[in-house]
Chains A and B, each alone.
Chain A
Amino acid sequence: MPTEVSSIESLANQEYKWGFVTEIESETVPAGLNEDIIRLISKRKNEPEFMLEWRLKAYRHWLTMEEPTWANIHYPPIDYQKVIYYAAPKTKIDRPKSLEEVDPELLRTYEKLGIPLHERELLAGVAVDAVFDSVSVATTFKEKLGELGIIFCSFSEAVQEHPELVRKYLGTVVPSTDNFFAALNSAVFSDGSFCYIPKGVRCPMELSTYFRINAKDTGQFERTLIIADEGASVSYLEGCTAPMRDTNQLHAAVVELVALDNATIKYSTVQNWYPGDKEGKGGIYNFVTKRGKALGVNSKISWTQVETGSAITWKYPGCILMGDNSVGEFYSVALTNNYQQADTGTKMIHVGKNTRRTIVSKGISAGHGQNTYRGAVKILKGATGARNYSQCDSMLLGDKCGAHTFPYLEVKNTSSSIEHEASTSKIGEDQIFYCRQRGIPTEDAVNMIVNGFCKEVFRELPMEFAVEAQKLLGVSLEGSVG
């Protein structure tokens, strides 16, 4: 007897739409990792001495570290000597100065992904930095932003043009010795986005980076640094896709955010790296360290993430609430289907007085997916009057998937309050039947129910992204009900 429950399980992925490969010649360094490779990367990027020293220090520290095993994820050992640490599309000139100089094949790639880089075709109000494999290929609206004193460029360019800012803030939120993957990133990171919003400026448009992994057997190690000076505010979006390949690819990124007095940074991610096929073959290993420092008084850092891709996601965007009255937020939707595994959550440290934090996490598991929420909240002794609210909900589709919750709470004073709520629900056969009885087909019903479940997170996303995220959830679940 076919039951609706078993048909939920048979919901398999619709084909991953972003899985094509761009035929473009790329320039790579030999596989493997040693000091020579790091010197080579640094030289290619024409970096000042301090950057090379910083990388080497990170590398030497990384050699002493062990890959973490505490996360609830399982994968065969990664051979770090087989990874290619740098790949760049070949260009005749060093760095394209304008879109006219960018390889048309690359522009076509981004167009295919729905991200036209020609400014006249762009969505009004979104500036894009496009990162292809290890390098940034184009940044739009730079001049317009420049008029306000906003710096938005690739990390490589920032190292050349604004070394003093890079030197001042690089590694101040995520030190090069922070953890195994952050140390690896610090040693070999190739590019990423850099953004500085000067005092009192509210960035008039959404800034975004679109990451694309293309080359085979390469790892992608980008690094993003965003600084909002006193009274500044910015909303930043990040999207990612990769071709379908049947070998796993490593992605280890670092994002650092710094918010000074009265500054606000809102960082949104829609992560859609290739998740692997239905049998769990291939897919991206996504080991990411993201952290924001709410350094100034009344500053605010808000993370919103929609994680639907990657074979493995290991990611805990955190906030260190240093400034008094500073605010941290974390809104997350993580979906695992087929054999995807996600161990994600947030780490929050309250240092300043009257600091506040809200955490809303929604995990959805389908197929054989395993979804873990891991959240750490630490309220230090001096953080009097701190408040922390966590809500962590899991939804299961079918009975072969799993949801796990690991909250860690530590409070060192008596005037703070912590609330933690958690729930796990199964998408009900009764809910689906109720929708179908009203004429709504099964797949639409599942979409509707899942989107309803994620509503509190989606409403935190900038509008164009919210629509995108809803569609993405639909595609990622398509076929999981038959």
Chain B
Amino acid sequence: MAKSPILEIKDLHAKAGDKEILRGINLTIYPGEVHAIMGPNGSGKSTLSQVIAGRDLYEATKGEIIYEGEDLLELDPEERAQKGIFLAFQYPVEIPGVSNLYFLKAALNAIRKQKGEPEVDAMEFFNLVRQKMSIMEMDESLLNRAVNTGFSGGEKKRNEIFQMAVLEPRLALLDETDSGLDIDALKVVSSGVNALRSPDRAILVITHYQRLLNHIVPDFVHVLAEGRIVKSGGKELALALEESGYAGLEEFAEIAR
């Protein structure tokens, strides 16, 4: 049975202010797949995830993003989230005075509302949350603390994946989820992500380093340079990059131009 893609990006160009950052991205992702995007600093990796999530600091100037057959660029960020797009932030944001639990419940109910489902009641929600917490080896006290406020770097990243576990997105974008994690935390976070791999869900992992991909093994690896995908391959591409570094990529970029 031929599956239809979750995400299709066609010749996407995007700029921040006057600066063009994405210069013609093409990428197709099917359900069940894990794609990794690698590339040097400034190549546009994070921008790509932000444009998919709908941050309006960036403007798509050309091309299109089709999500489950729908023109994504027409939707507000909250509509994209409600339809199943989840971005695990590179720098999760602190919201003082708003409890993690309250925040997550509001998010879950917004998503359920979009689907025409009733709001979760407190008991049901608490049970769901407890179950997901055990996967992330998270301390229950984090639930009643304010969103990301005073969390350590590791706690913040863990909290992102925990939110993902509760919200059960169709498409998850992980933006440098490995940055700032020590090896133990990296293992916990990666196993959390792996537990969320499923035939209905696609994951796009954005990372600077290969080490994350030892834990979250991708089906496809793409190399981004100067706003274009200059090389795609299987998981072995990541290993090759680890050896040669990004230096050799400049010429790919030249050729692609």
Contacts and interface: CB of A to CB of B under 8 A. Distances in A.
Given A430-B93, A438-B163, A3 B107 contact: no
A455 B97 contact: yes
Nearest to A4: B56
A448 B99 CA distance: 10
A13 to B, nearest CB: 23
B78 A454 contact: no
Contacts of A442: 78
Given A3-B57, A439-B114, A444-B106, A434 B81 contact: no
B167 A451 contact: no
B107 A438 contact: yes
A1 B18 CA distance: 11
Given A444-B106, A448-B98, A452-B146, A438 B81 contact: yes
A387 to B, nearest CB: 25
Nearest to B93: A434
Contacts of B252: none
How many A residues touch the partner, as a band? 20 to 34
Interface in A1-56: 1-4
A431 interface: yes
Contacts of B22: none
B177 to A, nearest CB: 15
Contacts of B102: 448
Nearest to B59: A1
A436 B92 contact: no
A449 interface: yes
A169 interface: no
A437 B82 CA distance: 8
B97 A453 contact: yes
Contact of B78 (A430, A436, A456): A436
Given A437-B77, A439-B81, A439-B82, A448 B103 contact: yes
Contacts of B55: 433
Contact of B76 (A436, A444, A455): A436
| Interface-central residue, A3, A431, A435, A444, by most chain B CB under 10 Å | A435
A455 B149 CA distance: 14
A428 interface: yes
Contacts of B53: 437
A26 B148 CA distance: 56
A2 B55 CA distance: 11
B98 A452 contact: yes
A431 B89 CA distance: 12
A438 B84 CA distance: 9
Contact of B98 (A3, A4, A429, A451): A451
Contacts of B111: 439
Nearest to A456: B97
Given A449-B98, A452-B146, A439 B93 contact: no
Nearest to B78: A436
Contact of A449 (B77, B86, B95, B167): B95
Nearest to B80: A437
B96 A452 contact: yes
A441 interface: yes
A63 interface: no
Contacts of B80: 437
A434 B89 contact: yes
Contacts of B77: 433, 436-437
B87 interface: yes
Given A1-B59, A2-B56, A437 B103 contact: no
20 contacts: A428-B93, A434-B93, A436-B54, A436-B77, A437-B53, A437-B54, A437-B77, A437-B80, A437-B87, A438-B107, A438-B167, A439-B78, A439-B111, A439-B114, A440-B110, A448-B95, A448-B103, A451-B98, A452-B96, A455-B97
Interface of B: 53-57, 59, 76-78, 80-82, 86-87, 89, 92-98, 102-104, 106-107, 110-111, 114, 146, 163, 167
List the 3 closest pairs (A to B, CB-CB), nearest first.
A452-B97, A452-B98, A438-B107
